[in-house]
């Protein structure tokens, strides 16, 4: 590959990696989605109109992504240490889950305690208690 364009394999690889990074960047994907949405909303599917819209919006984003990734190659490396705290993030949901579980158990306990009251208290009062218990949830 790249022989017909007289490209060295290393350069070709670099270009491919740049392209891959550009294609998988969130910005480009967002712009692509927005342009597709805009074209769909307009309902004009002529080649000229689509080319015009793409040149307006997508070409800038793609050029920007390619140029931005060509200059600072160290950015992904910097991001990787920042990703280390990411494992800490899942811990928080676990705590939340535990809290939720605790909350879930509390109403159950209340119900258990409320059960004998139901027997003694009139029906209207128990109904009111039930509604309040639901609201608390």
Partner 1 sequence: MSKEEYNPKILGFLCNWCCYAAADAAGVSRYQYPPNLRTIRVMCTGRVDPSFVLRGFVEGADGIFTGG
Nearest one of 1, 27, 4, 26 to 15, comparing CA atoms: 1
Residue 75 interacting with partner 1 (CB under 8 A)? no
Q: Which two tokens stand for residue 30?
A: 């967002």
Out of 8, 11, 20, 37, point to the residue binding partner 1 (CB under 8 A).
20
Give the Cα separation of 21 and 65 in Å (integer).
8
Instruction: Using CB under 8 A, count the residues that bind partner 1.
Output: 8
Out of 11, 24, 101, 108, point to the residue binding partner 1 (CB under 8 A).
24
Using an 8 Å Cβ cutoff, are 39 and 53 in contact? Answer: yes
**Between 29 and 96, CB nearer to partner 1:** 29
Binding site for partner 1 (CB under 8 A): 1, 13, 16-17, 19-20, 23-24
């Amino acid at each position: 590959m790249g022989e017909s364009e007289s490209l060295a394999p290393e350069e070709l690889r670099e270009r491919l990696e740049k392209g891959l990074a550009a294609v998988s960047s969130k910005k480009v994907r967002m712009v692509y989605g927005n342009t597709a949405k805009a074209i769909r909303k307009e309902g004009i599917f002529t080649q000229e109109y689509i080319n015009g819209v793409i040149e307006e919006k997508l070409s800038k984003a793609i050029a920007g992504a390619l140029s931005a990734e060509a200059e600072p190659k160290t950015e992904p490396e910097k991001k990787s240490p920042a990703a280390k705290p990411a494992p800490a993030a899942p811990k928080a949901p676990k705590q939340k889950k535990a809290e939720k579980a605790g909350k879930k158990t509390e109403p159950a306990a209340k119900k258990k305690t409320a059960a004998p009251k139901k027997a003694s208290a009139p029906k209207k009062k128990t109904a009111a208690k039930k509604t309040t218990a639901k609201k608390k949830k």
